């Protein structure tokens, strides 16, 4: 079944650690996105990609980085986690020429 997967679902990590949040989709979508969402707040775009080797920063400044080496894979990395990075991170994908998004279930990150 075509879908978009995020791992881990929950992560508690100490300050200063390097982490990578995984996102994979099996739909062959060219466009992929990372959003950050704090509780009760709206989603904010932090990174997006329109294809392999294409990455752009979104509207919300983020210290994270992304890579797009394969169409189906769009990982997000934090080199040195801080408590201010505590949030929910949502990955999404869409087809070119189609309005619809498919979201993953999210990773809830807590930095202590």
Extended beta strands in 38-86, E state: 44-51, 54-57, 65-66, 76-78
- Give the span between the Cα atoms of 74 and 94, in whole angstroms: 13
Q: Which of 76, 78, 81, 92 binds another protein (CB under 8 A)?
A: 92
- Cα(51)–Cα(44) distance, integer angstroms: 20
Q: Does 90 bind another protein (CB under 8 A)?
A: yes
DSSP code of residue 97: T
Site for another protein, residues 17 to 76, rule: CB under 8 A: 31, 33, 40-45, 48, 56, 58
Binding span for another protein by CB under 8 A among 14-22, 61-69, 76-84, 93-101? 93-101
Residues in contact with another protein by CB under 8 A are 6, 31, 33, 40-45, 48, 56, 58, 88, 90-92, 94, 99-106, 108
């Amino acid at each position: 079944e075509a879908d978009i997967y995020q791992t881990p679902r929950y992560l508690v990590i100490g300050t200063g650690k390097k982490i990578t949040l995984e996102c994979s989709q099996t739909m062959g979508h060219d466009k992929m996105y990372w959003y950050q969402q704090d509780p009760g707040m709206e989603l904010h775009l932090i990174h997006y990609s329109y294809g392999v080797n294409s990455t752009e920063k979104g509207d919300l400044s983020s210290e994270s980085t992304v890579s797009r080496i394969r169409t189906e894979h769009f990982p997000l990395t934090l080199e040195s986690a801080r408590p201010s990075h505590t949030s929910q991170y949502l990955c999404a994908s869409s087809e070119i020429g189609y309005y619809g998004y498919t979201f993953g279930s999210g990773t809830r990150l807590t930095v202590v």
